[in-house]
Structure formats: C-alpha cells, structure tokens
Structure 1
C-alpha cells in the first residue's frame, strides 16, 4: 500500500517540499492508515504533519472515545494535533440540512480553520478506491452528467471555509483564500487498507453508524454493490476505470467550455451576460457547460446544480423570447433579452435594453422641437418631414399631420390603453396585449415612450404607429418624430472625462 500511496502523491503532485499537511483523522481504518503512511513518508516528501479530528457529537460516548483515541495517538506518535467538537445536529436543524450534509459542511469548515491556524495550504483526507466506486454509483442512481460520473477528484479546493467546490471548473492554482484537499488513498482499496492496518499493528476505531443502511451510501455499500457483484465480479474495477475515462472526457469538454465561455460571456457587476444568437449556435453540451460555469463564477459553488436545473434553463434560453425566465440553484435567475440573456441574482434589478425610457409620466412635444428625455442621453425630435420619406430606424415614425388632433406628448402606458396597430386593418388592440405579443420585456413596458395626441396613441415608440395616423399615398403633410441620442450632450460628457 505504501508504494501505491507514494505513486499517487507523485503522479498528482499533491505536496511540495516544506508543506505543512493537515491530516483529517477520524480514528477509523482509512484515516489511521493514511496518517501512518504519511508519517512513514514525511521525511522523503519533506512535509510536516498536523493531525485534525472533529467530534461531531452524534454518537455520545463513542464519539468522545474516538476523539480521545486520536488525541492519544498523536501524542504517542509525537505529532501536533487539534481535537475539537461541534454540535452537528444543532447545525443541521438550524440550516435545515440532512445530518450527512451538515456533518460534511461542518467537517470541512473545521479542517479549513485548522489549516489556517497552522499555516497549512493542503489537507489530506482518507477517501479510498471503494469510496470512489460508491460515489460513482451514487451519482449514477441520483442522476449526474460527466462531472458527477467521474467520481471524486484526487485534488479539489475549498474556499472561505464554507463550501467545497469543484476545482476542475477553475484554473489550476490556489489563491490566498483557498486550500487544497488531497486524496492520497484514492487508488487503494478498502481490503488493502485493512491488510495494511494488520501488518503494521494498527487498531482502528469502528464507527457503528457505517452499518446503518438508512443512510443511502451505506445501503449502496452493504446491499446494492454486493448484489451487483454477483452480476459482474469485476464491477468495482469497471466503475473505477469508467470514472477515469469520464474524467479525461470531462477535462476535454471543460477546455472547450472555457473557450466558448470566453467568447460569448461577459462578466459585469454580479451578472453574466451571454450573446444569445452565438450561444444558441453552440453544441448542447457546451451550452450546459457555460451555464454551469456561470453559476460557478457567481457563487463559487456547483453542489446541488444538477442536470435538470441546467437543462431547464438551457431550454428557456434556446426556445423562449425576451422576458422569459428560468430559476437556477443558489438564488440565481436566467433572464432572456432580445440579443442576450443574463444569469444573475434573482433579486437583482433586471437589466433593461439600451432603449430610450421615460423617468417622468409625460413630456410635452411642441412642433417643431428637440426635447431632452429627463435623466437620459436621448432626445425627441419633432419636425415637418421633407422628401424622400424613408424610415430605416425603429426609433423614427412618419405620421399624417392632418389626421392628428391635440397636443403631442410622450408618456408612459396607462391602464386601459388601446390603439389600432398599423397592419391590423383597423382592429383595436389593448396596449398590454400588444406588448405581450411583441415580446417587449416586462421590465421595460412601464417606461417605454408612447407618443400621443391628447390621449390618443399615435405610436408605440420603437414598434408600431396607429393605423389611423399612418402615412398613405394621399398624405399631404408629414410629421416626423425621432428619438435619438443627444449627441451634443454625449460629446460634452466625453470631453469632461
């Protein structure tokens, strides 16, 4: 076993000369064998060891005895140790977590805390090859993509002593706020560990809760796997080999995902915006990957982000129009726009398109005039039109002046607004229904300028004029209304920078 541990450490460059390594020791066979092996290799590896044990306070006197065992062992082996207790059950109740999840969360937070106290950048944990088999099978049964089916990584990263995150999504390298977790026993089977303990006179503690088949992993270990091995005696090796193959496939796909993300995503103020048309041209695997990466970038977390969440969001971005939304885990929301879609905090104010908007209820428009839209860099220009009468700009409307009665104004929409959109042969339509049919973003509807004469709608700016005011071949007097950038103000602002 020692040779295999040495080879695994070397292959994955787990430790550097001079490292202080915090070793997570429960007192069971796996962690006891890990500590013994690292103690035997420490001079060769030029590392310093620090033992860490957390009493989860879940098994009463047995938990206390485990803690005492580890403390005594560390003293006997002349290793520094930190042995502490946490009320995991209370934490689970407070955070509404399962005991398994609460224990995991508390344990890694404790290990990170110990590492920072002793100046360590790496923590060694005792997951073994059989744990890997159970993890792959568990992910398969619960539903997972490549990221889950590749099983546990030889190394991963924790940040802020809060969340365990998947280092495969981030670039290699550890920041000052990151700690590496290493698994030196991941190529060693449970039977090899038990033999190693016997050969070296180690007497580990045994946790009876590992026999409790009400826990999903224990049921896999004691009931499901033995049955599956009657169908294929080499099942464990098959699953380990499959995990290694899928890990390579995942690494390749991840490289492609990062490239696509770099091309089509823009990070800005807690939101990630994707170029919609180009993103829709990606392979579905890359679409899912870029969405996962967006969650990772915003939350430093991919736990609980499963295929169903990502696929539902992907289909909304692929198939739905502006204003459509999809919920993502960790309080995130995907919102589709016209030319892009945004992944951001669900409570974040929606990003509005680069359109002219009103910040007041009504603005009078004399004829002729150039009127600034308050609080914006847009102006409304009202003038008599000269030939030729062509409009190539959505923010310009041509109207028959002889069919207009009342004072011109821009205003926001009002309850009960109706008009006769050009092209509907004089049929009346509610403004609310029109905006829905035209897929105008709901967040933009209340502030989109509406051109009126008195109370009659002449033009839903940027969309459609009223049939009764449109220019025909009989029109004699043409009114042109344009909403454009206030170039004078913009230029002045640029000069002032």
Structure 2
C-alpha cells in the first residue's frame, strides 16, 4: 500500500496511535489486521495511517466494508467510494451487504444494535478468511465520551462506565445468533485516545476526503441526540467535560480489571456446577463474598446462560443478590431477564431456565435417567447422569497411610473389601431403608431422614445413588460411610470408591 506522508504536528494523530499501539501491543509484527472501513473520517484516517506504518510494523492491512442497505443510494455510493480508495491504495478489500432492518425485526432489537451485531459478525468472518490476528475499528476519544455517558444514563456498573477498551477479544462482543468469530481475533481501537478534531485535522493535512453519513445528524437516534444536545449542554457547566469523562473511564477501567480477576477466583470457589441451562452456586460461599463480587457473579451467570444479552439491568441484579442474601430457607425464587429464574435451595442456589425449574440439575450425583440401579465393577467404573461417574479400585491395607483413611473425603470412601463383598451396585433408596452412619456407634437411621437432615433437595433424593453390597448399605456418597463397612485394624484389603465429575 502506498500513501503519502505529511508533516506531523507536535501532537499528531500518528503519535497518539503509536503510543496506544505500543502500550497495548495492538499489532503483533508479521500479522494481518482487518480494518473496518466505512469511508467516514475515522476509518479513512485509520486505513491511511496504518498503511503508512505497515512496512515499519511488518503489518499486512486488509479492508472490510459492510453495506448496511439503510440509506439507499447513499449506502451504494459509500461502497463505491471504498472500492475506489482501496483500488487506488492497493489494499485488499472484502465487501458484503446486509439487510440490517430485517435483522432488527427478526431479532427484536433496535436498529443500532442490529447494525452492530451484523457488522462485528462480518468483521469476524473476514478476519478468519484473511488469517488476521486483529480487527481495527475507528472509535475515537469523543466516541468514548458518548459511550460512557450513555452507559451512565442507562445505569451501568464498572463494565459499562469504563467505556470501550483499546483491545478486547472480538468473540466476547456477542455478535448475534449463529455468528462464528475466531476466538483468537482481537478487536483493537488505535484511535481511542485521539479526539475527533485531531482526526479531522489529519484528513485535511493529507487531503483525505471522507464520506459523511447524514444519518449521524438524525436526533431520533439516542447517540446522536446525546452528541448534539446533551454534551454541548454539559460543557456549559464544565468546558473540560470530555477530558474529565475520559480520565474517569481510564480510572474505572483499571478498577474493573482488578474486579474481573477477583470475580474469576470467586467463580471457581462459589460455583458448584454449570451447564448451558443452569449455574449452581454454593450458598455459603456466595454469601461470604463482598457485595461487589456477588453482583458481578450474578451478572456473569446471566451472561453465561444468555450470551446475546448485553444489557443487564441493575434492578434485576440487585433483586437477585437480595433474594440470595436474605433467604432463610429453601424455596425462595426470583425472576430474571430472558426467561431465567433464580431458585434458592438448602445449601445452594441456582440460576437457570424457567422451564427447568423444579427439575434435578447436576449439582448432585444422579442415577442414569430411567434406571433404579447400576452394577459397579471392581476395579472399574459406572457412569451416572449429568457427567458424574463412580470409580473403584482395591488396595492392600498396608499401602494406605493411616491419615488417608481417617481424613474426611467427601467424594472418596475407604471401605473394608471383605465386608463389601464381590457384588456391588449403585441404586436408589428404598422405602424405610436404614443404614448405620459411621460415628454413631452402630445405631441406624432411615436413609430418607438422613437425606432430609443433610438438606439434599427433594428433587434429587429418588435418583441419588447409594452404594450397596453383600452387607447392605455401604456408603451414602458425599456424606456417610456405613459403620459395618469401615476400615479396621483387621482389614487386609481396602475398597476405594471415588465419585467424580467427568
């Protein structure tokens, strides 16, 4: 690509882009970047500048243009302009057209949101086809101010108030139904710290004559009204408003990064199970966390279950946190957006599809659907429902340290192999069935009463697997070894039984 170079002012667009690219490692040497090229001032300046820097940065530039078909002949004229610029500069170009209005109607979203989804899906596809590491877009510092204010007025947490970031995974933007975005591609914003005035000055300096989208003047669009009416009004109170908002966003971005790391650690600690339709939390672990982390975990769970959902209202998050924190027993429920339901149990709570409410999930082991018993070979394994499995092996008594046998292992049982016998099975409880929990001196209790006292939810009890052998009940997995099957000084062979998630 060959474009002309001009004399740079003291604080030039090139200096801003160089600093941003270096600070955030936007363009790996030897990589390909796809530039979203609408033909407007921002994308025209970006394509021109990256073309000038490409030889030095060992960067291959590929342009991509989406005709949104929203402005009739003007949209077609934009496409023709883009094609001519790329032909003249020798830039490879990918062009697609999309009926954004139809997408908005079909998905039930606003026109701006539909355009965003379609545009990023297109850029992701183009990046995959071009083997690109990055997709570069022309968001500038003034766009950042508008974004932060929009999020503030909507009622957003740190994730929204930090605004846009210079680099983020493109796949994380959730670009709509059926979209396939390469996981390794990052969306980068080299102009994010450059005000619009600097970009316009760059275009004038290099005789770049961009296209102008007249719909940007239409104040029926929320962002346009904010840009043309609200921001100028606020600047009458503080002429430095834009700089103040940008600085605030940078401070909050650092705070957000710290919170994300804390939430990741909390997720590992507090989540017992997760699937496409449900996330199950440990109630005590969740309640012990800082309020900020609890809110973030709720938002993450909703986002996990409803990936297209971008805007989660504060009120829903707050209601969910309060429901969990104030629940004094099982049965508390709270509605959430997009057909989700929060349900509080004895020692867990779940967020899942409304239609799944009341059904067993996967936080407790369950017998395979339709079966009341499963043979358990020794050594070997038996598969349970929802990714659980039970494994067995035998070990000589002398091969196991005493502390291994006496420590509590919720999902591992050490049993006397001779007492257990040769025929083992995992089966459901029977009416009136009893066992002798270890530690009660041989006294027996009804298994159903044990399950109630252990707060195993009713929905899980009928299919909860119980280990049974020649001597009767041997183990209630996760809770009680039977007194008769305990390892004693006279034990010669130990049966080791483990329950795991696949």
Q: State if a TM-score over 0.5 links the two structures.
A: yes
Is structure 2 residue 197 aligned with structure 1 residue 191? yes
Give 3-state SS (helix, strand or coil) of 1:59's partner: coil
> Which residues of 2 match residues 214-225 of structure 1 at below 5 A?
214-225=220-231
When residues 377 and 66 of structure 1 are mapped into structure 2, their CA distance, relative to the original with a 3 A threshold, is same
- In the superposition, the TM-score normalised over structure 2's length comes to 0.71
Is structure 2 residue 293 aligned with structure 1 residue 281? no
Cα distance, 1:352 vs structure 2: 8.3
Cα distance, 1:14 vs structure 2: 0.6
Aligned to 1:343: 351
Partners of 1:22 and 1:120 within 8 A in 2: yes
Q: Distance in 1 between matches of 2:499 and 2:24?
A: 55
> Equivalent of 2:236, from 220, 230, 235?
230
- CA displacement 1:344-399 (0-9 Å, x = unmatched): 34433343886999x99xxxxxxxxxxxx99515673479xxxx9998968587xx
More displaced 10-residue stretch of structure 1: 184-193 or 313-322 = 313-322
> Equivalent of 1:319, from 316, 320, 326?
326
Partners of 2:36 and 2:135 within 8 A in 1: yes
When residues 382 and 177 of structure 1 are mapped into structure 2, their CA distance, relative to the original with a 3 A threshold, is closer
Q: Distance in 1 between matches of 2:311 and 2:57?
A: 37
Is structure 2 residue 392 aligned with structure 1 residue 380? no
Aligned to 2:138: 126
When residues 280 and 61 of structure 1 are mapped into structure 2, their CA distance, relative to the original with a 3 A threshold, is same
> Which residues of 2 match residues 111-260 of structure 1 at below 5 A?
111-159=123-171, 163=175, 177-260=183-266
Q: Any stretches of 5+ residues in structure 2 without a counterpart?
A: 1-12, 371-424, 465-472, 486-493
> Which residues of 2 match residues 380-459 of structure 1 at below 5 A?
380-381=432-433, 395=447, 443=459
Partners of 2:148 and 2:249 within 8 A in 1: yes
Cα distance, 1:109 vs structure 2: 0.8
- In the superposition, the TM-score normalised over structure 1's length comes to 0.71
Q: Any stretches of 5+ residues in structure 1 without a counterpart?
A: 165-174, 361-372, 398-434, 450-481
When residues 495 and 197 of structure 1 are mapped into structure 2, their CA distance, relative to the original with a 3 A threshold, is closer
Partners of 1:396 and 1:483 within 8 A in 2: no
Q: Distance in 2 between matches of 1:34 and 1:218?
A: 22
- CA displacement 1:91-138 (0-9 Å, x = unmatched): 111111111111111111111111111111210000000000000111
Aligned to 1:403: none
Q: Distance in 2 between matches of 1:160 and 1:143?
A: 21
Partners of 1:160 and 1:178 within 8 A in 2: no
Q: Distance in 1 between matches of 2:233 and 2:163?
A: 21
Aligned to 1:334: 342
Partners of 2:267 and 2:297 within 8 A in 1: yes
Aligned to 1:432: none
Q: Distance in 2 between matches of 1:355 and 1:181?
A: 41
Q: Distance in 1 between matches of 2:108 and 2:360?
A: 30
Give 3-state SS (helix, strand or coil) of 2:27's partner: coil
- CA displacement 1:444-481 (0-9 Å, x = unmatched): 79x699xxxxxxxxxxxxxxxxxxxxxxxxxxxxxxxx
Give 3-state SS (helix, strand or coil) of 1:123's partner: strand
Cα distance, 1:60 vs structure 2: 0.4
> Equivalent of 2:269, from 252, 263, 266?
263
Aligned to 1:40: 52
Is structure 2 residue 317 aligned with structure 1 residue 310? yes
Aligned to 1:77: 89
Partners of 1:154 and 1:183 within 8 A in 2: yes
Cα distance, 1:302 vs structure 2: 5.7
Partners of 1:299 and 1:330 within 8 A in 2: yes
Cα distance, 1:307 vs structure 2: 1.9
Cα distance, 1:16 vs structure 2: 0.4
Cα distance, 1:176 vs structure 2: 5.3
**Which protein is bigger by CA-based radius of gyration?**
1
Q: Number of aligned residue pairs: give it.
A: 399
RMSD: 3.8
Partners of 2:270 and 2:281 within 8 A in 1: yes
Q: Distance in 2 between matches of 1:96 and 1:126?
A: 27
Cα distance, 1:199 vs structure 2: 0.5
Partners of 1:143 and 1:307 within 8 A in 2: yes
Partners of 1:378 and 1:483 within 8 A in 2: no
